[in-house]
Structure 1
Amino acid sequence: MATVAWTVLLAGFTWVSARDDPPTVREQRTLSQAGPLVDGAIGELVAASDAGVPALAPPEVDRGCRISPFAEGATLVRAVEVAVPVGEERVLLEQVADRLPARWRAGVRLTPDGPRLRADAGEFVTVAGRVVADGRLRLTVDTGCRPVGDGYPGDATGPDGPEASALAEALGALGSPATDRQAVVSAPCPNGGAARTVRSAAGSASTSPPAALAPLAVGTPVVATPELYAYRRDGVAVLADLEQDPILLSATTGCAG
């Protein structure tokens, strides 16, 4: 009888704890609950990487991972691509780590595959950064596998801003119509406002893309390699991925310091 009573009491404590206590493991926090934290972390990364040319990548939600043998979940990954002068990739990674919130305990270490940034944004959300090519970094925020909940709603894009004009200008320089935007992505900035990226594929240019875009760079571009051309113009960061076919253009307004 005492064993039965203890079992009932323990079950009651467990129910109250599950109802009232904050999550203590990732499996107790849903994707919809983690979404705002991920969005805010992306804004922190954009603000910390403003020495380069950032571009927000579209969010990726991967369903079908398993939380347990009996439950499926999903993983949310958001990323910021950053163009940086060739040879300064590790320097920028270290600058990003230094500028992230102290509670994230961000740091950069050298591995056999190059420098790696690691940080903990809290609530079981991880932050990472690495060099993906000469003059190019990828910073990611990852929830790991967790319950879907109401799903990831995505961030509000808001009305067009100066990034849309800069994208149209770059498309025009490449001889492409300023239509058919491929994606609009945004994230909240730590000090208010939002970072915002618009993307579009560009058709084949009649001249070399760097030569066509050079007049818009107003001086020396931030990056000019056979794979990447990046510059700033009137407060907007423009990145042309020349490895893509067709060329992928991104124009981004970042976060004020």
Structure 2
Amino acid sequence: MTAVETGYAPPTPPGRPGPGGRRRLRWLTAATLAWAVLLAGLTWWSVRTDAPTVKEQRSLDQAGPVVDRAIGELTAAVGAAGVPALLPDRLERGCRITPMDDGATLERGVEVAIGGDDVREVLRGVADRLPSGWRAGVSTLDGEPLLRADAGEFVTVEGRAGGPGRVLLTAATGCRPMGSGYRAPSADAASESAVLAAALGRWGGASGPVQVLAAPCPGGGTARTARSEAAAPADQSLAAAFGGGVAPVVDSADAYARPGDPAVLALRAGERVRVAVTTPCPA
């Protein structure tokens, strides 16, 4: 046993902090936790009160109309390069904005049937017709052409190949606070729905509900698409369901696309045919 001289504190074992070191360690731990709580609180407050400087500060109900206007611009920018049809929106919840807050993403799209396979040329034409402030351009990603543009308010616009003879144009918000949520624009698509019903009637009628999609046009008015599908045997012609009129851009066993007022896009998937009848924004 080691004798300890009276009046002196016993030596501190190696690797163990002395009383002063333990107090400093506790203080540093408490300060670190307080700083983390402060930062989280400031982030929470900033997201809700400061002017928006990043997309996470602009809620979905604020960003949604920007996406809608972008879709209208995109249908107008297609012009005579193809036959556009509005796609249903995709709203996905569960992304993380901060460790304390989750959010949602919104994406809307336009599918375009083109007469040929020169996707890059179509995307260049669309980019040239978009507003100059969007700074639209076409580059290459993984060997494929990619259109990118900025529609404002941190809404990203992209365009790429969407399959054989098709181009896909999208506008997306990225992860945002929900706010009061997204409300899709509505429109009366009676004329488009009538053309759709007449075409699907040749195959026994629509096998599901009719979706009506809309987007505001840059010069006023509204782009409208009525969509549904029907069961159609593979030996039945798609073109026969739509009669005469403007010469089609695409006319094959699996796809039919005709410009006009309204425009028609029909795509075969097995023994079903998806049909979209669209009045796009004027170029």
1:162–1:253: 8 Å Cα contact kept in structure 2?
no
- Report what 2:115 is aligned to: 85
Match among 244, 251, 255 for residue 277 of structure 2: 251
Question: Is the alpha carbon distance of 1:255 and 1:109 closer, same or farther for their aligned partners in structure 2, counting shifts above 3 Å?
Answer: same
**Corresponding letter in the other structure for 2:214:** S
Aligned counterpart in structure 1 of residue 83 of structure 2, from 39, 53, 56: 53
Q: Answer yes or no: is the 8 Å Cα contact 2:127–2:138 preserved in 1.
A: yes
Q: Deviations over 1:46-104 (max 9, x none)?
A: 00013211110111100001112221100000000000112232221111100101010
| Aligned mates of 1:218, 1:151 — CA distance in 2 | 42
Asked whether 1:42 is paired with 2:63, we answer no
Deviation at 1:151, TM superposition (A): 0.4
- Equivalent position SS for 1:50: helix
Q: Aligned match of 1:202 in 220, 230, 250?
A: 230
TM-score of the aligned structures, taking structure 1 as reference length: 0.85
1:231 aligns with 2:261: no
Instruction: Find 1:138's aligned residue among 158, 165, 168.
Output: 168
1:185 aligned to which of 201, 213, 229: 213
Letter of the structure 1 residue corresponding to residue 129 of structure 2: R
Structure 2: runs of 5 or more not aligned: 1-40
Asked if structure 1 preserves the Cα contact closer than 8 Å seen for 2:94 and 2:102, the reply is yes
Change (3 A) 1:41 1:17: closer
User: What root-mean-square deviation, in Å, do the aligned CA atoms of Structure 1 and Structure 2 show?
Assistant: 2.5
The CA distance in 2 between the partners of 1:151 and 1:245, in whole Å, is 37
Residue type of the partner of 1:41? A
Superposition map of 1:67-146 within 5 A: 67-146=97-176
Structure 1 residue 160: Cα displacement: 3.0
2: CA distance, partners of 1:229 / 1:89: 18
Distance 1:47 1:41 in 2: 10
Task: Find out whether 1:221 has 2:248 as its counterpart.
Answer: yes
Distance 1:185 1:113 in 2: 33
**Cα distance, 1:27 vs structure 2:** 1.2
Distance 1:17 1:183 in 2: 35
SS at match of 2:248: coil
Give the equivalent residue in structure 1 for 2:267.
241
Runs of 5+ consecutive residues of structure 1 not aligned to the other structure: 1-10
* Structure 1 pair 15–134 and aligned structure 2 pair: CA distance change class (3 A): closer
1:166 aligns with 2:192: no
SS at 2:145's partner residue? strand
Aligned partners of 1:231 and 1:237 also within 8 Å:
yes
Q: Is the 8 A contact 1:181 1:198 kept in 2?
A: no
SS of residue matched to 1:152? coil
Q: 3-state DSSP class of the match of 2:269?
A: coil
- 1-structure distance, mates of 2:45, 2:212: 42
Q: Number of residues paired by the alignment? A: 241
Query: In 2, Cα distance between the equivalents of 1:186 and 1:161?
Result: 13
The percent identity for this pair of structures is 49
Secondary structure in structure 1 of the residue aligned to 2:109 = strand
CA-CA distance at 1:220 after TM superposition: 3.6
